[in-house]
Amino acid sequence: MRDYELMYIVRPNLSDDEISPIVERINNYVATLGGQVKEVIQTSPWGRRRLAYNIENFQDGYYVVTNLLLDPRQASELERSLRLSDDILRHMLVRPGGTEA
């Protein structure tokens, strides 16, 4: 198991009530893959922020950062799932220290 930091941007056209289940779904998927969301710094929503450039005609996005433990062999499966999600505009999974997964 390795430490990872997952940052993803959720579509801004969703309400705050719709964002929470998305975050919970991703955390549950990490557990399904045999990983765990760290409890010390579990999930830190940055909230709505302006994007540096438009993504799918959106100027804003809802940023969420999650620290987790995950088997390196499962990291690509997590990224595949995030790419297929319609609610996620972009994501980045990195190992602390600056190296990408």
- pLDDT, residue 45, reads 62
Instruction: Count structural domains, the chain.
Output: 1
- pLDDT, residue 27, reads 92
- pLDDT, residue 6, reads 92
pTM: 0.84
CATH code of 28's domain: 3.30.70.60
What size, in residues, is the chain?
101
- pLDDT, residue 40, reads 39
The whole domain housing 7 covers 2-100
Helix (H, G, I), strand (E, B) or coil at 14: coil
Q: Give every residue of the chain whose pLDDT is below 70, as ranges.
A: 39-45, 98-101
What's the Cα-to-Cα distance from 53 to each of 12, 29, 56, 89, 92, rounded to whole Å?
A: 14, 29, 10, 12, 16
- pLDDT, residue 41, reads 41
- pLDDT, residue 49, reads 87
List all residues 6 or more positions away from 79 whose beta carbon is below 8 Å from its beta carbon: 91, 93, 101
Contact yes or no for 3/96 (Cβ under 8 A):
yes
Contact yes or no for 23/63 (Cβ under 8 A):
no
Contact yes or no for 38/96 (Cβ under 8 A):
no
Contact yes or no for 66/5 (Cβ under 8 A):
yes
